[in-house]
């Protein structure tokens, strides 16, 4: 398997040398031409371009990387979070779409320990990528800090609270909370409860703030179930049961995590509590699983595939030197009202 002698050219390989021989030009000229050297005359440039195309030339990644340091690699550092079902697949699909036809490849590294910065450090030290994409960003995320300090191109899915601006694409969590509260208010709810999946992300703060503000504006009583993070699905399910039996339970529920929503719903079902009759619910939706199961439940959607595309776009611009403050975008929540009105 692959037994050609190392250090010797692979016979069939098309390199700059091949094109040089084919066109009768020098290797340097070919290289220059392919990179759009303006000092070359048009005729030459055309000839080279034609030959390159005919031979199917693709620059050798190792050669380019060795010479220029450019890896043509984007690195996705995958967080272990499981709040969004199928998050990884969709994110990768989005990034894949965005780099299709470009010289970029995608490497994926799962970071097992949430608070660890090992993977980032490794990439920074060994320059194993031209840019990094991180997800589930926290307010003072050490990964962001580290890359900002190193002035290394990256983009985060999620905002931070750092003073220095950096590229990000984020779900507009405030809008989500506001929309959800208003929907519940519209359904006639008097007491709304917010169930938070992960209180370590920046979105946590944004959602909580907007939730309270919007509830106040609509004259609603509020309750907050935060830090469900450490709980097992079974425990959360238990909370669902408790809620169902509680005397002063809320009549409106907002949940920003699909897996938490599922656990709660499991508890409700077990207790005979019916969403849409006994209370109302709005959850944040990123996969098709929940709507398949419960086609009548209201949700607000974030499109993770689109997020992947956008993150890649921002990162590539960043790599090309665009200023960070121009590379910050939000995605608007997409309400999916399915419970009639």
Residue 49 touches DNA, criterion: CB under 7 A: no
DSSP assignment of 17-70 equals HHHHHHHT--HHHHHHHHTT-TTS-HHHHHHHHHHHHHHT----HHHHHHHH--
- Rounded CA-CA distance 87/79 in Å is 10
Instruction: Pick between residue 42 and residue 151 the one whose CB is nearest to its own copies.
Output: 151
Residue 325 · residue 165 · CB < 8 Å: yes
Residue 64 touches DNA, criterion: CB under 7 A: yes
Residue 50 touches DNA, criterion: CB under 7 A: no
Kind of pairing between the strands at 191-195 and 105-111: unpaired
Residue 1 touches DNA, criterion: CB under 7 A: no
Residue 105 touches DNA, criterion: CB under 7 A: no
Instruction: Pick between residue 184 and residue 315 the one whose CB is nearest to its own copies.
Output: 315
User: In 3D, which of 288, 243, 247 has the Cα closest to residue 265?
Assistant: 243
- Rounded CA-CA distance 246/268 in Å is 12
- Rounded CA-CA distance 256/258 in Å is 7
Residue 227 touches DNA, criterion: CB under 7 A: no
To DNA, the closest distance from the beta carbon of 178 in angstroms equals 49
In sequence order, which residues have a C-beta less than 8 Å from that of residue 334 and are 6 or more positions away? 300, 301, 302, 303
Which residues are 268's β-sheet partners? Answer: none
Residue 277 touches DNA, criterion: CB under 7 A: no
Instruction: Pick between residue 76 and residue 180 the one whose CB is nearest to its own copies.
Output: 76
Residues that bind its own copies (CB under 8 A): 1-2, 4, 6-7, 10, 58, 60-63, 65-69, 71, 76, 78, 80, 82, 85-89, 92-93, 96-97, 105-110, 112, 126-128, 151-153, 233-234, 237, 259, 262-263, 265-266, 287-289, 291-295, 319, 321
Question: Which of these ranges, 62-70, 110-118, 146-154, 304-312, lies near DNA under the rule CB under 7 A?
Answer: 62-70
Instruction: Pick between residue 24 and residue 340 the one whose CB is nearest to DNA.
Output: 24
Residue 6 touches DNA, criterion: CB under 7 A: yes
To its own copies, the closest distance from the beta carbon of 300 in angstroms equals 19
What phi-psi label fits residue 47: left (phi over 0), alpha (psi between -120 and 50 degrees) or beta? alpha
To its own copies, the closest distance from the beta carbon of 4 in angstroms equals 7
To its own copies, the closest distance from the beta carbon of 335 in angstroms equals 20
What phi-psi label fits residue 340: left (phi over 0), alpha (psi between -120 and 50 degrees) or beta? left
Residues that bind DNA (CB under 7 A): 6-10, 13, 15-17, 25-29, 31-32, 34-35, 37, 39-41, 43-44, 57, 59-60, 62-64, 66-68
């Amino acid at each position: 398997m692959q037994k050609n002698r190392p250090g010797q050219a692979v016979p069939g390989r098309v390199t700059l040398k091949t094109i040089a021989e084919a066109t009768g030009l020098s290797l340097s000229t070919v290289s220059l031409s392919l990179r759009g050297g303006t000092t070359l005359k048009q005729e030459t440039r055309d000839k080279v371009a034609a030959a390159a195309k005919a031979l199917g030339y693709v620059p050798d990644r190792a050669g380019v990387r060795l010479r220029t340091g450019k890896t043509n690699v984007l690195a996705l550092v995958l967080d272990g979070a499981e709040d969004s079902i199928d998050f990884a697949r969709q994110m990768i699909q989005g990034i894949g779409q965005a780099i299709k036809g470009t010289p970029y490849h995608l490497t994926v590294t799962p970071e097992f320990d949430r608070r660890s910065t090992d993977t980032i450090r490794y990439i920074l030290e060994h320059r194993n990528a031209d840019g990094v994409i991180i997800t589930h960003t926290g307010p003072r995320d050490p990964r962001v800090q580290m890359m900002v300090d190193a002035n290394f191109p990256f983009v985060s899915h999620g905002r931070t609270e750092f003073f220095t601006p950096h590229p990000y694409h984020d779900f507009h969590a405030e809008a989500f909370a506001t929309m959800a509260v208003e929907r519940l208010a519209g359904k006639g709810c008097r007491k709304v409860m917010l169930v938070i999946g992960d209180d370590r992300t920046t979105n946590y703060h944004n959602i909580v703030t907007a939730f309270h503000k919007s509830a106040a504006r609509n004259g609603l009583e509020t309750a907050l179930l935060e830090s469900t993070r450490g709980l097992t699905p079974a425990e959360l399910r238990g909370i669902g049961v408790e809620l169902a039996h509680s005397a002063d339970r809320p009549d409106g529920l907002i949940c920003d995590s699909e897996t938490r929503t599922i656990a709660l719903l499991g508890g409700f079902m077990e207790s005979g509590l019916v969403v849409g009759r006994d209370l109302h619910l709005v959850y944040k939706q990123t996969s098709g699983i929940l709507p398949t199961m419960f086609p009548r439940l209201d949700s607000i959607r974030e499109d993770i595939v689109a997020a992947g595309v956008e993150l890649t776009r921002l990162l590539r611009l960043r790599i090309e030197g665009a200023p960070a403050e121009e590379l910050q975008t939000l995605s608007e929540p997409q309400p999916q009202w399915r419970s009639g009105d």
